[in-house]
Amino acid sequence: MKQFKIKVLLGVIVLLAIILILVAILIPRGQEANADHVPTTAPICNLEDQSPSEAFEWLMEELNPHNLAEGPCEQDPGSGIPQELYLLTDLKSLALDGLNLTSTIPEELFGLPSLEYLSIMSCGLYGSIPEAIRSLSKLSAVNLAYNSLTGTIPSSLFSLSYSMRSIILQENQLTGPLPTPELGLLPGLLTSLQAMWFGGNLFTGTVPTELGWLTLLDRLDLNELLLSGTIPAELAILTDMQELYMHNSGLMGTIPRWLGNMTSIERMTLMGNFFTGTIPTELGLLTKMLALWLGVNALSGTIPSEFGMYEKEQLVLTLRSNNLTGTIPTELGLLTSLWQLWLFDNELTGTVPLELGNVPFPAPYGQVYLFGNDLSGIIPASLCSANNLTFDCSDLLCGCDWCNCSDIETSTILEGETTNEDGQLLSGANQTEGNQTEP
């Protein structure tokens, strides 16, 4: 009996020993396994030791506006851009739009020799555009819009890659003349350029004839500049033009008839200048037109009946505040649909044609503004589909059951009418299809 108890005790001791051995082996392994799943909080500051994908992922996190200037890695004290970004010598595309950099353009960016696309829009940049930009020999698109850049355009910007497609400098405080041979725009350079957005600056002088060399140019923004002179005939060769913006830029003379050769154009604004003479009937040949703004000039004569040939839906046609005479063309009733028809503040006479009521005005954007003319008769009931229908109370009676005439002021019409559905200003590069209003 005693021997049996001894054997049992020895068995228990052996079992406990085995359990202790197993515990000693398994616990460290468990800790080691758990350690593999604990995310590291240490920053990856040495990109040279990382794969390209790891480096890119880390930089995108560092460049997040919430993390800029708060990260643990060394940053450029003038811009808040991590110094590690400048090590990515194979980087082809870089967009820092919307970051509150509040600095000059970091010249270290020009040490990225593979860069093809650079966008630093709305970043609080100031100072001039460095001549060092010439080092980005592969650059095909640059966007420095909506900053506070000053000075003239560096000549080196126009001697970059032959594959340059887009230069966007709008809404800064740049001065001097527009690109000329003296500024580096020479024959054979920038032959691939398709978009030039220079509006909203302080450029002076005239529209350069040399822009006619840019035969692939299809988007040109010269809005809100301090120019003078006429639209040069050399631009007639730009037959691929799709968007032409020249409003409020001090231009004068007559509207060129050769604009009718730009058969690909979809949006054109010449409003707010000093143009005189008649509206060329050739503009009616631009059947792809989506929006035509010719208001606030000193144009005379009649409204071309050829405008009834426009084929696009949701057309915007603004001829307001000129000296136009005659009647409203019945041919406008051939249009597929009208988004806006602004004819107010002219010298139009006669009645509103019944045919105009055949045109759909898509709600809630349809706008027909006829006040400030010498029209008579009755507004056709078929125009009731227009969301906003305004006319002179003393001259016209509305044929609709619900509408009333209004002594509305021009300022009331324009207030709040320059934004799209998202509240974005529809000016220059921001103009989009949809709720198009005056730029």
pLDDT in tens, 101-116: 899 998 888 889 889 9
Residue 436 pLDDT greater than 70, yes or no: no
Give residue 179's pLDDT: 78
Give residue 23's pLDDT: 54
pLDDT tens-digit series, residues 295-320: 999 999 999 999 999 988 889 999 99
Angle at CA of residue 164, ends 160 and 168, nearest 5°: 100
Percent of the chain surpassing pLDDT 70: 68
Q: What structural domains does the chain harbor? A: 91-423 (3.80.10.10)
Give residue 361's pLDDT: 80
Instruction: Choose between 41 and 302: higher pLDDT.
Output: 302
pLDDT tens-digit series, residues 75-85: 343 446 777 78
Residue 21 pLDDT greater than 70, yes or no: no
Give residue 297's pLDDT: 98
Give residue 34's pLDDT: 39
- The pLDDT confidence band at residue 15, using thresholds 50, 70 and 90, is low
Give residue 213's pLDDT: 84
pLDDT tens-digit series, residues 184-225: 565 556 778 899 999 999 999 999 998 888 889 999 999 999
pLDDT tens-digit series, residues 369-403: 998 999 988 888 777 766 677 777 776 777 766 66
Residue 40 pLDDT greater than 50, yes or no: no
Residue 423 pLDDT greater than 60, yes or no: no
Q: Which stretch of 108-122, 284-298, 345-359, 384-398 has the lowest confidence by average pLDDT?
A: 384-398
Q: Which stretch of 16-25, 58-67, 240-249, 343-352 has the lowest confidence by average pLDDT?
A: 58-67
- The pLDDT confidence band at residue 100, using thresholds 50, 70 and 90, is confident
> What is the arithmetic mean of pLDDT over 257-282?
96
* Reported pTM: 0.77
- The pLDDT confidence band at residue 2, using thresholds 50, 70 and 90, is low
Give residue 151's pLDDT: 96
Residues 209 and 235: their CA atoms lie apart, in Å, by: 7
Residue 167 pLDDT greater than 50, yes or no: yes
* Beta bridge partners of residue 267, listed in sequence order: 243, 291
Instruction: Choose between 1 and 55: higher pLDDT.
Output: 1
- The pLDDT confidence band at residue 419, using thresholds 50, 70 and 90, is very low
Contacts 24+ apart (CB under 8 A), 272-275: 272/247, 272/248, 272/296, 272/297, 273/246, 273/247, 273/248, 273/249, 273/297, 274/250, 274/298, 275/251, 275/299
Percent of the chain surpassing pLDDT 90: 42
Give residue 41's pLDDT: 31
Q: Which residues contact 8 (CB under 8 A, 6 or more apart)?
A: none
Give residue 191's pLDDT: 76
